[in-house]
Structure 1
Amino acid sequence: MSDVDLGLDVHHTSLSVADLDAQLAWYQHALGLHEIVEEYQLDEPAVRTVVLQSRSGVRLELIERAGATRSRAHTDPLDAASTLGFGHWAVSVRDLDTAFAAIVAAGGREVWPPADAVRPGSRFAYVKDPEDNLIELIQPPAR
């Protein structure tokens, strides 16, 4: 095990999607990821990518590859934990109830409504984007 400080920080999360244009529009509208910081396209294999960024610096890369398939959609985070790999994407929000309501109003689907989290003072909820990807919303404790 290394004790070296690698200066790790989250750069971006990548999400494979079936319809890049629809998911791009949804994430811009529902989560406020308005800034496009990078776009890329390959002809072979047919791949298109867009990296979105929020005002606070959160980045999400959307990747569309022709012919990509999903092995199965997960019903909730506990179901997602039944298969190996990433199960959901988690973001911090200032006001959980407002964020949850806005995302659901924008076409996100409710999975678990806002509730108290394990960490005292924290709250969380889960939603799905239009392609069934799980997103956890976390409201940290007030300072």
Structure 2
Amino acid sequence: MTDSRPFSAAFHHVSISVADLDAQQRWYQEALGLDEVVECFELPEPPVRTTVLRGSGGLQVELIERAGSGRVREFDDPLDASRDRGYGHWAIAVDDLAHAFAHLTEAGGTPVWPPAPAVRPGARFAYVKDPEGNLIELIEGPHAD
């Protein structure tokens, strides 16, 4: 019989397939401050290289480069991404949305949606794309007055 008790779960990392591991690693290290290289892995067949990066706040991103990979299609924004099933974007909490949005776009990210009010009262959000077109949502929670 299967144990039906709930289990404890916590976010571990997001994995992003990339065309250029070295360039994307530099961008994520510089733009998001993911300075710690947790692990690197390489396979000869299929030709795959991976790097897991971690920031001081615990955020982890795994970048995977596979020779010959391609993008099925690029999304213009998160509403466009919702046309296809599966993952459309990943999101990070930030304490200063305007600063984070400006910093990421100045670092080579593409602005998608500028900072705007979110559904949750007092919260705000924005979207950017990394240099390879992957959507990242920035979320600033409501601030106490």
Quickly name the TM-score band, shorter chain normalised.
over 0.9
Deviation string, structure 1 residues 7-31 (Cα, Å, up to 9, x no partner): 1000100000000000000001111
> What residue in structure 2 maps to residue 18 of structure 1?
19
Secondary structure (helix, strand or coil) at the match of 1:78 reads: helix
The number of residues matched between the two structures is 142
Q: Which residues in structure 2 correspond to 1:1-143 (within 5 Å)?
A: 4-143=5-144
Secondary structure (helix, strand or coil) at the match of 2:76 reads: coil
Query: Structure 1 segments of 4 or more deviating over 6 A?
Result: none
**Deviation (angstroms), 1:4:** 2.5
Secondary structure (helix, strand or coil) at the match of 1:16 reads: strand
The letter for the 1-side match of 2:96 is D
**Deviation (angstroms), 1:141:** 1.1
**Deviation (angstroms), 1:142:** 1.7
In structure 2, relative to structure 1, the CA distance for the partners of 1:3 and 1:92 (3 Å cut) is farther
TM-score (norm 2): 0.95
Q: Which runs of 5+ in 2 are unaligned?
A: none
Secondary structure (helix, strand or coil) at the match of 2:95 reads: coil
TM-score (norm 1): 0.97
Over the aligned positions, Cα root-mean-square deviation in angstroms equals: 1.1
Secondary structure (helix, strand or coil) at the match of 1:36 reads: strand
The letter for the 2-side match of 1:91 is I
